[in-house]
Structures are given as C-alpha cells and as structure tokens.
Amino acid sequence: MKSKAFRILSLVLALVMVASFAACGGNKEGETTTEPAVETTVPAADVETTLPAEDAQTTAADATEVATEAATEEATEEATTEAALPSEAPTETADILKLYNDATAKVASAKPQFTKKRESVANTYDAGVALKAFKGLVYQFMGIGSENIFTETIAKNGDNYTKHFLASKLTAADVTSAACTADDKGNFTVNLSIKGGNSSVNEGTLEGINAPIDKCGISAGLNDKDYYDHKTAQNVYDAIDDVASGATIKESYSNAKLTAVIDAEGNLTSLKVTFDMAFDISKVYGSSGTATASTEVIFSDFKW
C-alpha cells in the first residue's frame, strides 16, 4: 500500500515538474525585454552639420549663382567705368577735356603702336653777323627745315614710349576754347585752342617755363633731345652752350591748336598739334637775332 502511494506521489511530482518546464519555456519565447532609455542628447559642439546630398547641391548651386552675379556686376562696373563715353558730343569745356584726357591716358596705359611726324617750317631768321654762323645749329635744334623733319614709328609697349607720348593733363585754365563734334558712327572730334606760353634762359641760367602746351600729351623737356615736340629756350641754349655759354634766349609760342579724333570705344585714332614759335637770341659774341617758325606734330596709325 505504501509502495503504491509512493509511486503515485512520484508520478504527481514528475507531472508538476514537466508543467513547470513547459511554463518556463513559454515565458521565454514570449518574453519582452525593456532596456533602459539611452540619452541621445549630444553637446552642441559635437553636432554634425553635414547637409543631405540634395541640400548640399542646392547650397553649392546657390553659392555659384551668387558668385556669378557678383562677378558679372563687377565686370559690368569695370566696363561701364572704362567705356564711360558721353552719348553725344559734350559741350562744356570740362567735359570735352575729360574726353580728351581719358583717351590720352588710355594710350599711355595700353601703349599701342603709332607713328609720329613733326615738321617745322621757317618763317624768319634775322641775326647779326656772329649769330648768322649758328643758323644751321639753331635750326637743327628747333627742328626747322626739311632736313630736320622727325618721323618715327613707336612700337607697342616700346621702352622709349614715354619719350614720345604722355597722358594729357590739360585743364580749363590751359585752354581758350574747346569744341567737340560726333559723327553717326560714334566718333568724336575734339578741337582745342591752347594758351600761349614762354620760356627763357638769361646768360646761361634757366629763368622759367610757362607752357600749357607741354601738358597736352606731346613730348617736351629741358634737355636738347631731338624727339621733343615743343622746343624751349633751354633746348636751344643746350645746343649752343659749348660756343656761347653766356647766351640769353627767350622763347615763346602762340596760336596753339589741337585736333584729336576718338572712336566709339574711347581709343585715340589721330592727333594733330600745331603752333607758332619765336626765339629771341642775344649775347652771342655781341650778336643777337630772332627766328620764327610754324610747327606741326601729327600722331597717326594707332594699332591697338
């Protein structure tokens, strides 16, 4: 009886254990594990700012567009500044001079090739016996006569460019009249009358120079250079000082006229300057004399 009861108890325990295992297995398969929440706050300094590819492309396109617009505006401003030509022929002296001065400044900056010809025709030469001997020398350094015609093609960007052409610095105080006309192709013709001037050397010492014409773009200076278009008293004195070191020379010019043609792009295409000059020479071995002549300087064949 005890043996049978023991067996029944053992069987019941076995069934309980099987039921327990089954219950454990079922709980494991349906188990849902909840993990603690992880804090995802990232310090501001560590936040990644990389944009999505699409946004990055859009931003790059916007930046390119802005840069292009800025470059276009800058180029337009430069072009506008460089090509700041009047829409019609100016009438005010200041505006006419600006048109001419800007055109000569462009020549001085770009240094295009051009040809220069200067010719002076003698009008009178009245001198005492001693000074007559210097006529040829005086004429040489005044550039008078066919044998003293100066002509030269100035190369683009040539080393001696500034010897032959300078930017004009004329002001309203330097001219007596200014006029400008325009043709149907946009070319401007500027006509200026430049005030007269003078220079003097007293017994070998330079006293002074008043020469508005020297500001118009032609070549001028104090030494006896053959390429100078306006010859001063100092130029002639330097030519004869070896034999007449105590000479007194007075030079003056008058009737100075300037005609310039400027195309629709602001380029100088031709320039002509004319004036009359007079020299009064004295104290050359006790002799004195005067010489007068007319000079024409032509700049042409500009190759931009």
Instruction: State pLDDT tens for residues 33-78.
Output: 444 444 444 444 444 444 444 444 444 444 444 444 444 444 434 4
Work out how many domains the chain is built from and give that number: 1
- Report yes or no on 16 lying in a domain: no
Structure confidence at residue 209 as a pLDDT band (50, 70, 90): very high
- Report yes or no on 20 lying in a domain: no
Per-residue CA distances from 2 to 9, 11, 14, 15, 283 (Å) = 10, 14, 18, 20, 172
Q: What is the pLDDT of residue 28?
A: 45
Contact (Cβ atoms closer than 8 angstroms) between residue 234 and residue 166: no
Lowest mean pLDDT among 139-143, 168-172, 257-261, 299-303: 139-143
Instruction: Measure the CA–CA gap between 164 and 237, rounded to whole angstroms.
Output: 22
Contact (Cβ atoms closer than 8 angstroms) between residue 154 and residue 114: yes
- Report yes or no on 48 lying in a domain: no
Structure confidence at residue 175 as a pLDDT band (50, 70, 90): very high
Phi and psi at residue 38, to the nearest 5°: -95, 130
Phi and psi at residue 31, to the nearest 5°: -70, 135
31: amino acid identity, one letter: E
- Report yes or no on 123 lying in a domain: yes
- Report yes or no on 256 lying in a domain: yes
- Report yes or no on 73 lying in a domain: no
- In the chain, the N- to C-terminal Cα span, in Å, equals 135
- Tell me the mean pLDDT in the region 253-274: 97
- Report yes or no on 249 lying in a domain: yes
Domain assignment of residue 175, given as a range: 93-303
- Report yes or no on 166 lying in a domain: yes
Q: What is the pLDDT of residue 61?
A: 44
Report if pTM > 0.85.
no
Instruction: Measure the CA–CA gap between 196 and 103, rounded to whole angstroms.
Output: 23
Q: Which tokens is 72 given?
A: 């276009």
